[in-house]
Amino acid sequence: MTIVRQFTAVAASLLIAVPAFAGDSDHFKGQPSNTLEQAVANFSDYNNKLEKVLAGDLTPEAMNEVHQLTYTLENALQKLDDEIDALEDTLEKVHKASEHADPDTVRTAGEQYLSNSRKMIK
């Protein structure tokens, strides 16, 4: 297929697809990532799905699949970002408590930090 035909095929598919997306009030939302565990699972699963699509031809159908996959990945990344922010706050509690020789806070906040951080990376 010549480059002109490829361009024409992609342009035509976008003309068909874009109005469908733009006028659709139920636009893709992706899978939710309401918990850290769900975000980690979605991040892993949907990265694998994206990798498979990228390994093939990026046809208009594949481009649509990528478009849909990115919503779930964005949801997962947002939850991970929120969780990392909270993790930073918890670690800061541990840090400050260690400076002030506060073993109770070091233990409780440290255990909370480890528990949550290990949900992301073991």
- pLDDT by 10-residue block (mean), the chain, 122 residues: 46 44 60 93 95 95 95 96 95 97 96 92 72
Nearest C-alpha neighbor of 44 from the set 80, 9, 16: 80
Please give the pLDDT value at position 44: 94
Please give the pLDDT value at position 26: 55
Whether 73 and 26 have beta carbons less than 8 Å apart is answered as no
Written as six digits, the tokens of 76 are: 């997962």
Please give the pLDDT value at position 39: 94
Please give the pLDDT value at position 120: 83
Rounded CA-CA distance 80/37 in Å is 10
Tell me if residue 62 falls in helix, strand or coil: helix
Please give the pLDDT value at position 99: 97
| CA within 13 Å, CB half, 102 | 12
Please give the pLDDT value at position 112: 96
